[in-house]
Amino acid sequence: MEHVALPAAPEAAPVPWRAYARLAKLDIWDYYLSVPLAAALVLASGAGAAGGAGSGAVLAVLVLFLGGEVAMSAAMCTFDDVTGYRDGSDAVNYGPDAPARRLARKPLVAGTLTERQAIRFGWAAVAACALCWAAAVAVAPARPGWAVAGTAALAVFGFQYTWWLRISYNGFQELFLAALGWFFVLPLYGLLTGRADGFAVVQALVFGLGPLLFGVYSNTNDIAGDRAVGRRTAAVLLSPRGNAAFVAGCSALEAVLLVGSAVAGFAPWWFPLVMAPVMALRARQWVLGFVRGEILLARRLGIRLHRVCCALLVGTDLALVVFGGTL
């Protein structure tokens, strides 16, 4: 009997969760380091959680706050992709000439998700964030007004990076990148301890400067594209020399915090010695980007340097626990 050739089976459709994971940029985890940093700060504070709450409550707050951070970051990245898809900037940066793996990071441009699907996912992420942070506040050992207000403000404004208020388009992108890190650390620390110690504030400020100090290098690389869509970053608004000076100033601010906190008595005297590699590599980052013109290499160094900085901050806090001393 003659065999009839069957048509080839169609390729399997993309797995939806993978497209949503790419939309949410779940592989970008640098902001989530705020949770282990806050946990280390609580240990180093010498007082433990407020009110003598058990470790179970502390762990619950940490997990719920981390869940809210993941959801907030997913919402922010999702709406950023929708905006980039609408104004055409992602079509230029991730067009048909882009490598397939790079293009897959933009599901709207790649066609694996529709704009409507993305927007629904973004709002679902905002809702999940609000639920996680409301639960974290409800079970928190302490609820100082400033920590509750900070958590609420983060829930309201965190997803508006390029949506509604379009913060990054209206001249506040750099402040937003740093403030997001500050608000990921301090309110969580407040919910666990009921206070805001000087050294905790310093570490939160340093943590927030980390994403800023690789974001400004991205902005320097993206000047033409950002200017074309009306995104008013410092790199767009300033002259090349002014932008280089601005980045140098942000880098110097980090060094001032690291050294000045010890001089002022907020940090142990040896803290600047521990953080010396960060200051040295930050100077190298600026030279690499603005003297040698290797902006993307400088950006990559900034990402790694943020992770090194977080590890050193956590190590400092744990050293205070092991060898004695309180904040």
Q: Where are the alpha helices (DSSP H) in 88-197?
A: 89-93, 100-103, 107-110, 115-139, 145-157, 173-193
Q: Is the pLDDT of residue 327 over 70?
A: no
What is the model's pLDDT at position 54?
A: 72
Residue identified by tokens 């509750």 is 148
Output the six-digit token pair for 238: 């300033």
Return d(Cα 3, Cα 115) in angstroms, integer. Answer: 45
Q: Quick one: how far is CA 94 from the chain centroid?
A: 22
Say how far apart CA 229 and CA 225 lie, in whole Å: 7
Nearest to 248 by CA among 298, 306, 315: 298
- Residue burial 128-164, b: 16+ Cβ < 10 Å; e: rest: bbbebbebbbeebbbebeebbebbeebbebbbbbbbe
Give me the mean pLDDT over the 72-85 stretch: 96
User: For residue 31, with 0-12 CB atoms within 10 Å meaning exposed, 13-18 middle and 19 or more buried, which class applies?
Assistant: buried
Tokens of 175: 């402040």
Q: What is the pLDDT of residues 190-235, one digit of tens each?
A: 999 999 999 999 999 999 999 999 999 999 999 998 999 999 999 9
Q: Are 78 and 118 in contact (CB under 8 A)?
A: yes
| pLDDT of residue 10 exceeding 60 | no
- Residue 210 CA to residue 220 CA, distance in Å, equals 16
Q: State the pLDDT at residue 4.
A: 40
The 3-state DSSP composition of the chain as helix, strand, coil percent (nearest 5) reads 75, 0, 25
| Phi, psi angle pair for 323, to nearest 5° | -100, 0
Residues above pLDDT 90, as percent of the chain = 81
Q: How far apart are CA 83 and CA 162, in angstroms?
A: 7
* CA 84 centroid distance within chain: 19
Pairwise CA distance, residues 244 & 128, whole Å: 39
Return the half-sphere exposure (C-beta side, CA atoms, 13 A cut-off) of residue 263: 6
Q: For residue 47, is pLDDT > 70?
A: no
Q: With CA atoms as reference, report the closest residue to 219 among 209, 207, 231.
A: 231
Read off the pLDDT of residues 147-165 as tens digits, 9 standing for 90 and up. Answer: 999 999 999 999 999 999 9
Q: Nearest CA to 140 among 32, 36, 56, 45?
A: 56
Q: Name the percent of the chain lying above pLDDT 70.
A: 89
Rounded Cα–Cα distance for residues 1 and 215 (Å): 67
Q: Tell me the two tokens of residue 129.
A: 């964030």
pLDDT at 50: 52
